[in-house]
Amino acid sequence: MSSKITNPKRRDATNASSSSNSSLSSAGGGDGGMSADLASLFECPVCFDYVLPPILQCQSGHLVCSSCRSKLTCCPTCRGSLGNIRNLAMEKVASNVKFPCKHSSYGCTSSLLYTEKGDHEDICEFRPYLCPCPGASCKWQGALELVMPHLMMSHKSITTLQGEDIVFLATDINLPGAVDWVMMQSCFGHHFMLVLEKQEKFDGHQQFFAIVQIIGSRKEAESFAYRLELNGHRRRLTWEAMPRSIHEGVASAILNSDCLVFDTSIAQLFADNGNLGINVTISVV
């Protein structure tokens, strides 16, 4: 996939086998210090993540997380056989322990039961931001304040325009296959990413999807609205919405058609020599 506007391309363990009732009571009773102490018993000796149910132990009782276990041939603590012995006592303890969110290093202070941990981490507001450029080629992730420096350093081909009302020009829209165009817009002290994707959503039917993301959180996105407008030949096609946070990304919006959607025949009505201009207006709400 390409992130250029003028040159789009095809996207061709600790041994703990039992626990006293008093420990379980303290862990489940809201004692943060006790719960943290118990949580430390579940640290994987390889990756230092938490060993969560179902919990398997080696023959000596040592634990290792399921992710690391699949890559090991022996216990990393005692070098003995890993075996397939369930540690039901530790599983019972785990069900009463609150584990810190894996994004705690980014500022999250939440501690949750292991059954709630995964769901929380998927939507945690402190989770790292992924590179917002379309496609899966860039694996960068980091804090919000590092997104723009990353884009300027690693995606220099993306053009940035200043102002709340600009024209997003996508060139060579007739290129075959899946293609995307990207541009940045800077206004109101924020940066916005404009994305136009052409893809085959249904068998043999290509469509264009246009959307605006804010380089910011969902809370920041709620302060703005954007309007996309195609004009030409006494015709007009308009879409208005709240920009999406780059935390959310554009994939789900495209899947649900929650963006400006038009097919190739519509695109031809507004194109000029294979180039398509989209008027983009950002406003404060």
pLDDT score recorded for residue 137: 82
CA distances from 272 to 70, 225, 281 (A): 56, 28, 21
Q: Which domain holds residue 81?
A: 21-123
CATH of the domain at 233: 2.60.210.10
CA distances from 19 to 15, 23, 40, 41, 159 (A): 11, 7, 14, 11, 60
Same domain, 160 and 118: no
Same domain, 106 and 200: no
Same domain, 61 and 103: yes
Give the CA count within 13 Å in the CB-facing half-sphere of 209: 22
Same domain, 173 and 273: yes
pLDDT 10s digits, 180-198 = 999 999 999 999 999 999 9
Same domain, 238 and 176: yes
- Whether the Cβ atoms of residue 77 and residue 45 lie closer than 8 Å to each other: yes
Q: Does the pLDDT value for residue 79 go beyond 80? A: yes
The answer to whether residue 6 sits within a structural domain is no
Same domain, 176 and 273: yes
* H/E stretch holding 240: strand 235-241
The answer to whether residue 137 sits within a structural domain is no
pLDDT 10s digits, 229-264 = 999 888 999 999 999 999 888 988 998 999 999 999
Same domain, 183 and 254: yes
Same domain, 96 and 189: no
The answer to whether residue 224 sits within a structural domain is yes
Same domain, 95 and 167: no
The answer to whether residue 38 sits within a structural domain is yes
pLDDT score recorded for residue 115: 94
Same domain, 161 and 95: no
The answer to whether residue 275 sits within a structural domain is yes
Same domain, 107 and 162: no
Q: Does the pLDDT value for residue 36 go beyond 80? A: no
CATH of the domain at 73: 3.30.40.10
pLDDT score recorded for residue 136: 59
The answer to whether residue 91 sits within a structural domain is yes
Same domain, 117 and 189: no
Domain count, the chain: 2
Q: Which of 26-30, 50-54, 176-180, 230-234 has the lowest mean pLDDT?
A: 26-30
The answer to whether residue 226 sits within a structural domain is yes
Single residue among 123, 148, 175 that ends a domain in this structure: 123
